[in-house]
Amino acid sequence: MGETMRPLDLAILLAILAAVVLIVAASTPARVESPLPGPLTVDDATVFFLDTPVLVTGFLVRQSSKTYLCDAPRCPGARLAIVGPPRHVRPRRVLVAGVVTGDEIAPLRLPGRRHTAAL
């Protein structure tokens, strides 16, 4: 081949390099613009392994001595048990900022307050 590259060889090399750059760029996860990803549905939150705080939207439902976050008011499908819930809960749609672990969500504590980040 000699000391210089032919134009065709150079074009092929640049095409391969461009393809590698596109593949790497496409496989890089997108950055989250907000500090907390979401809001996720309860079903979505139970499917993914999340080790960082997220926003989850759902209905607060009290059953026996536990409080759950559910996608629907009567909790027919997926649900997350709320860790450290308030004692008096009325069924309503809420947005909870917390950490999901398995089938539980631990709401974040707001700094300097007794309340959790359930809105």
Cis? peptide before 86, omega within 30° of 0: no
The answer as to whether 6 is a domain residue is no
Q: How far apart are CA 50 and CA 21, in angstroms?
A: 29
Residues pairing with 54 in the sheet = 98
Percent residues over pLDDT 90 in the chain: 14
Q: Is the pLDDT of residue 70 over 70?
A: yes
Q: What is the pLDDT of residue 90?
A: 77
pLDDT digits (tens, 9 = 90+) for 82-106: 988 666 777 788 888 888 888 899 8
What is the mean predicted confidence (pLDDT) over 43-52?
A: 79
CB 56 within 8 A of CB 93: no
The domain of 91 spans 40-107
The answer as to whether 30 is a domain residue is no
Confidence of residue 119 (pLDDT cuts 50, 70, 90): very low
Domain count of the chain? 1
Q: What is the pLDDT of residue 56?
A: 92
The answer as to whether 92 is a domain residue is yes
DSSP run (H or E) holding 69: strand 66-70
Q: How far apart are CA 93 and CA 61, in angstroms?
A: 9
The answer as to whether 21 is a domain residue is no
